[in-house]
């Protein structure tokens, strides 16, 4: 219990708003004054303001001159930006793992996540699949010893999250995507860095183009 979690209003506000955005409880495009956010959260403007500043730095919110804060929508263009970066960074991070001689045991949490993805697919539970998928990528990233890389990629995932969830049930590549996780792990264990990089990149490229295609086709997530 000594988790050192001295909850502060700023943190509460930050977390509450972030969760609400992720889950679409506060929809993209929603705009409100600082005072409104504050009232809603039952605190004064000050902590809310500071939380909003952080959320703005993370690209989830935009503060507009005299009209408060606006929950940023994710457009196709944004997703393209995000995936272009992920397609570069994540494969490289994974390839580095291959070089480091990772044991199968160390990858066990990843294998676990992948297993969950498989069973989620079997039971047609895409949300659970998505959660495990995210976990896979994040755990893999956490094994990288580059804190800046971790934080940045995490922030990109956060930004992309809503769009991913919206497109989830329209995707046809989930099975393929899951299978690739196994391949990537195998090549990491075998220390084949180039193969890991290529595979991971392909993995991201596929899901990226699938998601972008869906967004474009249905013109989803506009505002």
Among 15, 25, 46, 119, which residue sits at the site for DNA (rule: CB under 7 A)?
46
Among 24, 30, 39, 45, which residue sits at the site for DNA (rule: CB under 7 A)?
45
Using only the alpha carbons of the chain, give its radius of gyration.
19
Helix (H) or strand (E) holding 79: helix 76-99
Partner touching 89 among DNA, a second copy, none, CB below 5 to 8 Å by kind: a second copy
DSSP code for 43: S
Q: How far is the CB of 87 from a second copy (least distance, A)?
A: 9
Q: How far is the CB of 38 from DNA (least distance, A)?
A: 7
Q: How far is the CB of 11 from a second copy (least distance, A)?
A: 13
| DSSP, residue by residue, 103-172 | -TGGGHHHHHHHHHHHHHHHTT-HHHHHHHHHHHHHHHHHHSS-HHHHHHHHHHHHHHHHHHHHHGGG-S
Among 69, 93, 188, 221, which residue sits at the site for DNA (rule: CB under 7 A)?
69
Q: Residue 104 interacts with DNA (CB under 7 A)?
A: no
Residues engaged in binding DNA (CB under 7 A): 6, 8-10, 33-35, 43-47, 49-50, 65-69
């Amino acid at each position: 219990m000594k988790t050192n979690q001295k909850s502060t209003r700023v943190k509460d506000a930050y977390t509450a708003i972030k969760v609400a955005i992720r889950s679409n409880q506060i929809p993209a495009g929603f705009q409100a004054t600082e005072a409104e956010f504050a009232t809603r959260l039952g605190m004064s403007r000050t902590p809310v303001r500071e939380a909003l500043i952080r959320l703005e730095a993370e690209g989830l919110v935009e503060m507009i001159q005299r009209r408060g804060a606006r929950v940023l929508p994710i457009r196709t263009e944004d997703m393209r930006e995000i995936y272009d970066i992920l397609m570069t960074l994540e494969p490289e991070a994974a390839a580095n793992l291959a070089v480091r001689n990772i044991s199968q045991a160390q990858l066990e949490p990843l294998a676990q996540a992948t297993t969950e993805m498989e069973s989620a697919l079997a039971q047609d539970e895409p949300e659970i699949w998505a959660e495990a998928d995210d976990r896979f990528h994040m755990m893999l990233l956490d094994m990288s010893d580059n804190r800046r890389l971790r934080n940045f990629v995490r922030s990109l995932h956060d930004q992309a999250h809503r769009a991913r969830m919206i497109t989830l049930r329209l995707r046809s590549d989930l099975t393929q995507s899951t299978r690739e996780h196994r391949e990537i792990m195998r090549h990491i264990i075998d220390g084949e860095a180039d193969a890991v990089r290529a595979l991971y990149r392909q993995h991201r490229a596929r899901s990226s183009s699938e998601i972008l295609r869906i967004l474009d086709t249905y013109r989803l997530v506009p505002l």
